[in-house]
Copies of this chain bind each other. A is one copy, B any other.
Amino acid sequence: MTDLSIDIAGLRFKNPVTTASGTFGYGEEFLDFMDVGQLGGIFVKAVTGKNRDGNPYPRMAETPSGMLNSVGLQNKGVTHFCREIYPRIKNFRTHLIVNVSGSTVEEYVEVAARINELEAIPAIELNISCPNVKLGGMAFGTVPAMATEVTAAVRKVYGKVLMVKLSPNVTSITDLAKAVVDGGADAITLINTLLGMAIDVNRRRPVLSTITGGLSGPAIKPVALRMVWQVHKAVHVPLIGLGGIMNATDTIEFLLAGASAVQVGTANFIDPTVSLKIISGIDDYMQKNNFKSVSELVGALNTD
């Protein structure tokens, strides 16, 4: 038997396979398909200060080995989350981590402070890919100083494990990683979606109502792996890697590149049980290659 458990900033995960925010709902929709208690963790979908309707339809376009979405953080706000959702899911036997989003530093702080009070939530993941409404719509995650600022502000009110999720749409991912570590991040998730676009030539219109949207799926895996590897060399906090993971092999690639855990995103849409298959696939790989603990794989890429 191999040891799949892994420590991330003092939090023990039973295995390194978690599900990505926005692709797993609150986990409830998966109960028909699987025992969610077998997952390393669930990153529940983005929670903002107030209710958000999200963007108009159409919100999705299929692309080669991927998809674009422009859901736009649709959710009923933090109060609804705490009152309605949390009681329904708090007994799932896995780490529940809330993806915290906002358009101002104040909104991030408000949501983080409210989530801090929920006993069964051991960590949050700050989603800093959102445009900062006060600073002309430039995303928090694209300017290092802004990234440090929002992380530090949340750090003040949030006492548990603070993860920050980075956007890949930047010239230097390592600058952003260092910026959030400076702000007090305990761990870094990467990557969020690449900004992309799809066009319908028959209608001569963008497919998405928002014109551009976020690209996810296997198409982005090479970029995601590269960023995990670059950040792994640049900072000393644990990393959670994602982007196009479809199977155990993809997952092991992220671990080797330096991720301590992974998130499965778009793949959940194609096979809702894929995470469990990945967990057993990692175990197979470790047995075949004589690894005892999954932590031996983390950053074990041989580059000489």
Contacts and interface: CB of A to CB of B under 8 A. Distances in A.
A301 B215 contact: no
Nearest to A225: B197
Contacts of A118: none
A257 interface: yes
B205 A302 contact: yes
A218 B220 CA distance: 11
Given A197-B222, A206-B303, 15 more contacts: A65-B66, A170-B170, A195-B226, A196-B225, A197-B225, A199-B225, A199-B253, A199-B301, A201-B249, A201-B252, A204-B301, A205-B301, A212-B226, A219-B219, A219-B220
A210 B47 CA distance: 40
Interface of A: 61, 63-66, 68, 142, 169-171, 194-199, 201, 203-206, 211-212, 215, 217-223, 225-226, 229, 244, 249, 252-253, 256-257, 285, 300-303
* Interface residue SS majority, chain A: mixed
B196 A63 contact: no
| Of listed A169, A217, A300, residue having the most chain B CB within 10 A | A169
Nearest to A304: B205
A217 B198 CA distance: 15
Contacts of A142: 171
A22 B168 CA distance: 26
Contacts of A66: 64-65, 219, 222
Contacts of A206: 301, 303
Given A65-B64, A218-B64, A221-B63, A226 B301 contact: no
A64 B253 CA distance: 14
Contacts of A203: 302
Contact of A204 (B196, B198, B215, B302): B302
Nearest to A217: B64
A68 B222 contact: yes
Contacts of A65: 64-66, 218-219
